[in-house]
Structure 1
Amino acid sequence: MIDRIIARQTDLIAALDAFDADAVVAASRALAEALAALPEEKEAVDSEQVAYGMKQAEAARIRVKYLTAWNRQKIDRLSELRGHS
């Protein structure tokens, strides 16, 4: 189960790195579905896999934060060019 979540996280990170909005949406949905199925699974979870999954989540969070700031800068710059402060 955790392998499926890590694979979906990897897909999401790749989509974020590619700046592909459609792929980000699709990967986000796939990750949400994998996470929703987690409570149904009763298999033992390897603590190393969980730690890796947490690092993947942090990597995705950092990318989203970066892209948010990057988009904000672009919007602010366009606003300046149009004469708005």
Structure 2
Amino acid sequence: MSVMMDAVLQQQAELIAALDMQDADAIMAASSALSTAIEKLRLQKQVPAQSQLSHGLKQAEAARIRVKYLTAWNRQKIDRLAECRGLASSAIYVMPQKRA
């Protein structure tokens, strides 16, 4: 078992918890800590166990899904606010006009 991979897994879990709480400061701190843990793992010459790698990939996917959800949720809120102000939604595709 790789100690450095354990640190990455722990930081991933903390990032997922911060995403679930929708706490921007905690997300930023967890992202920074995860980045540091990944960099330390890269410097390690030892390959982590397959079980650790598999768990890490599952946690990365879990975090990706949460980020995608929060992005869509925020986009909906922005669009609703724009509609309340009488502005067109930015999510509507408009075909560019051809110049003569």
Normalised by the size of structure 2, how large is the TM-score? Answer: 0.82
Q: How much is the aligned-residue C-alpha RMSD, in angstroms?
A: 0.8
Q: Please tell me the residue identity of whatever aligns with 1:25.
A: M
Q: How many corresponding residue pairs?
A: 85
Question: Greater helix percent: which structure?
Answer: 1
Q: Per-residue deviation at 1:43? A: 2.9
The runs of 5 or more residues in structure 2 that have no matched partner are 89-100
Name the structure 2 match of 1:41.
44
| 1:2 shift after superposition | 0.7
Unaligned runs of 5+ in 1: none
Q: 1:11 aligns with which of 5, 11, 14?
A: 14
Identity, % of aligned pairs?
59
Misfit runs of 4+, over 2 Å:
none
Question: Which structure would you say has the larger Rg?
Answer: 2
- Alignment partner, residue 32 of structure 1: 35
Name 2:98's counterpart in structure 1: none
What TM-score, normalized to structure 1? 0.96
Greater RCO (Cα-Cα under 8 Å, separation 6 or more): 1
